[in-house]
Structure 1
Amino acid sequence: MAEAAPGRSTSGEAAVRGLTIALTGFVIITLADVAVKFALPTIGVVGALLWRGCAGATAVALMSRGRNLWPRNLRLILLRSSLHCASSIIWYVVWVRGYRLADSYAVAAAAPLLMTLLAIPMLGEKVGWRRWTSCLVGFCGVLVMLQPGGDLWRWETALLLVAVCAMAVSRIWTRVLAATDTPTTIAFWLMLIHIPFGLAVLPFPIFWPEVGGGPNLFPSFTLVLLLCFFGASNAVAHMLFSRGYALASVATLAPLEYTPLLWGLALGFVIFGEVPAWTTLGGAAIVICAGIYNVHRERVRRAEERAKRAAEA
């Protein structure tokens, strides 16, 4: 099926495919986040950037056999990749400072509303009242989590919200680039740009690991394997995101930004022993319900389009 250009409506069937592909990407990216959060105390932000760039770009190059890597829209590719990389630095910094995995995903749940709003002027997408409702309900869940005096009421949250805004713009540009560039091209340059960013922050001790007196780019063999997984899984996830945004609108995919809350809650508890506050859990339940409803609406649209085509045949 041909990829839809930005701003054009996509069929219900394509939208459901896009939802499935993007959802797979979110599962993979969550596993990658767990890997890097585990490794950050040893490698620091510098190590995370360089490993993500080297391992990720290599993985894309191998999977594509070096083909279709040069972008058609080089300017936007570089701008999007740089913005996303700057956002990643913020995420890594707040994780190093002890921010819980599920809590960071809770803050990121503000992204769908921003994406839905930005998609109107940037892509010309039309958003129906049902999608508006699902995003607004999800945002109410975010407000439950961010209440004053709660666990998330800290200065790192404000910094993370800046990264979430950048992430929302990056998602919009993914939709734009899907009309001109392949998923492998988009993912390759996103991974590659992490290398110069990592080298740029290398001289600053704030981005080094907390112990060791300097960047430790080659820790134990086990951690090296984990970091290879971290880079490669990031590459695969962003290839899936690019394909998903080519098939479905931003407003359709926006509520999937809520799904890492599910994986983050479970993995954060099992691996890091993190127990979120009840406000985080309550807000997560609200935003997840909003996302599930949006998926249901896409299935209804798909059934309606099939019935319409059958009647016209």
Structure 2
Amino acid sequence: MLRPFMRGRRLVGPALVTITAIGLLSIMDGMIKYVTAEHAAGQIAVLRYIFGSLAAAAVFLATRTPLPAPATWRPHLWRSVLVSITAVTFFYSLSALQLAVALALSFTSPLFIAVFAALFLGERPGRPVFIALGLGFAGVLVVLWNELDVGAGGDFASGPGIMAALVAAVTYALAMVTLKSRAARDPAPTIVLLQNVFSLVLLAPLGALQWTPPTGAALALFFVIGLLGTAGHLCLAWAYARADASRLGVFEYTAFIWALAIGLAVFNELPAPSTLAGAALIAAGALIASRRSQVREAEVEIGP
């Protein structure tokens, strides 16, 4: 009788940490949207991972985390390929689309997380998670009903930006599932450090091709972006080591709640009734996701 209750309690901590991580990464996305006016996606990604690597190295050293064995590098390199693709495509979508549209398209990632977790990790999410996914996605559609009206010249007319956002959603979902696979094996500081360093190396050639000299103010912004990214992914690594990917993936929808709060506090933006209705659906989905689902731990390794 106590087992469902205890399982629910075990999800609370990872869920709260995941929501915090999504909040940090949402603030980072807003700052990245700002710098896309002056810099290309490749350069933004490189600068984000330069400062992210420095922050991750500081955490790695401060926590006295043991050096990773060479055998662990390969799966992290594979995951960093996914992370790099996600960064470039999502940063490009931020430059090509309105922020709300890019975020809404990224909210398809929990759907892919649930599918990939079932395929690769053997998770069986259960009915509550699928109901939560449906509610969250419906909430996104309600919020963006007018903005995605193609007949009225909405943002779906921007094909490359839309495609980039959807590619980012798929690769992000795969990256989160591989994170679940590694989080049970490697410390969070190791995961985040290797992710930042490998992504920096992979994206360096593209960043060099798109490089324009950043101002001092821009470098300060990229420093904060790197800190936010590292902090957010440390939180995600901690949470995904303690709960199922399919259940935590649903909390990606809370990014829109964070966006509402940031818009109201910083930009004095009052949300429309449709926005509030959509946010209510998203929040309801996140709450339902905390209910019990049948899962099993998998020992599957993902990647070449």
Q: TM-score, normalised by structure 2?
A: 0.81
1:33 pairs with 2:29 = yes
- Counterpart of 1:201 in structure 2 is 206
Instruction: Give the Å deviation of 1:276.
Output: 8.4
Q: Note closer, same or farther for the CA distance 1:38–1:69 as it changes in structure 2 (3 Å cut).
A: farther
Q: Note closer, same or farther for the CA distance 1:274–1:202 as it changes in structure 2 (3 Å cut).
A: farther
1:108 pairs with 2:103 = no
Asked if the contact 2:26–2:255 (Cα under 8 Å) also holds between the matched residues in 1, the reply is yes
Asked if the contact 1:106–1:280 (Cα under 8 Å) also holds between the matched residues in 2, the reply is no
1:55 is aligned, of 47, 51, 54, to: 51
How far does the alpha carbon of each residue in 1:219-238 deviate from its partner, in whole angstroms, 9 at most, with x for none?
A: 12x33222111101111111
Query: 2 CA distance for matches of 1:278 and 1:109?
Result: 20
1:160 is aligned, of 161, 165, 169, to: 165
Asked if the contact 1:100–1:268 (Cα under 8 Å) also holds between the matched residues in 2, the reply is no
1:93 pairs with 2:88 = no
Q: Note closer, same or farther for the CA distance 1:52–1:80 as it changes in structure 2 (3 Å cut).
A: same
Q: Note closer, same or farther for the CA distance 1:168–1:45 as it changes in structure 2 (3 Å cut).
A: same
How far does the alpha carbon of each residue in 1:6-60 deviate from its partner, in whole angstroms, 9 at most, with x for none?
A: xxxx943332111111111111111111222222223332331222111111111
Q: Note closer, same or farther for the CA distance 1:203–1:237 as it changes in structure 2 (3 Å cut).
A: closer
Asked if the contact 2:60–2:190 (Cα under 8 Å) also holds between the matched residues in 1, the reply is no
Query: 2 CA distance for matches of 1:286 and 1:152?
Result: 23
Q: For residues 295-310 of structure 1, what are the structure 2 equivalents within 5 Å?
A: 295=290, 297=291
Query: 1 CA distance for matches of 2:275 and 2:101?
Result: 7
Aligned residues: 279
Query: 1 CA distance for matches of 2:105 and 2:266?
Result: 20
Instruction: Give the Å deviation of 1:115.
Output: 1.1
- Counterpart of 1:253 in structure 2 is 248
Instruction: Identify which range, 253-262 or 139-148, moves more after superposition.
Output: 139-148
- Counterpart of 1:309 in structure 2 is none
Asked if the contact 1:178–1:246 (Cα under 8 Å) also holds between the matched residues in 2, the reply is yes
Query: 1 CA distance for matches of 2:165 and 2:67?
Result: 31
Amino acid at match of 1:18: P
Asked if the contact 1:141–1:282 (Cα under 8 Å) also holds between the matched residues in 2, the reply is yes
Instruction: Give the Å deviation of 1:198.
Output: 3.3
1:141 is aligned, of 134, 139, 154, to: 139
Instruction: Give the Å deviation of 1:69.
Output: 4.7
Amino acid at match of 2:98: R
Amino acid at match of 1:135: L
- Counterpart of 1:289 in structure 2 is 284
Alpha-carbon RMSD: 2.8
Q: Note closer, same or farther for the CA distance 1:43–1:132 as it changes in structure 2 (3 Å cut).
A: same
Query: 1 CA distance for matches of 2:109 and 2:40?
Result: 26
Partner SS, residue 125 of structure 2: coil
Partner SS, residue 123 of structure 2: coil
- Counterpart of 1:176 in structure 2 is 181
Instruction: Give the Å deviation of 1:277.
Output: 8.2
Amino acid at match of 2:73: L
1:233 pairs with 2:220 = no
Q: Note closer, same or farther for the CA distance 1:202–1:55 as it changes in structure 2 (3 Å cut).
A: closer
Asked if the contact 1:45–1:93 (Cα under 8 Å) also holds between the matched residues in 2, the reply is yes
Instruction: Give the Å deviation of 1:269.
Output: 6.7
Asked if the contact 2:46–2:207 (Cα under 8 Å) also holds between the matched residues in 1, the reply is no
Query: 2 CA distance for matches of 1:69 and 1:11?
Result: 33
Instruction: Give the Å deviation of 1:201.
Output: 1.1
Query: 1 CA distance for matches of 2:59 and 2:206?
Result: 29
Query: 1 CA distance for matches of 2:269 and 2:201?
Result: 33
Query: 2 CA distance for matches of 1:93 and 1:33?
Result: 12
Asked if the contact 2:140–2:278 (Cα under 8 Å) also holds between the matched residues in 1, the reply is yes
Query: 2 CA distance for matches of 1:275 and 1:101?
Result: 16
Asked if the contact 1:60–1:187 (Cα under 8 Å) also holds between the matched residues in 2, the reply is yes
How far does the alpha carbon of each residue in 1:234-280 deviate from its partner, in whole angstroms, 9 at most, with x for none?
A: 11111110110011111221211001112224435776798988766
Instruction: Give the Å deviation of 1:160.
Output: 0.7
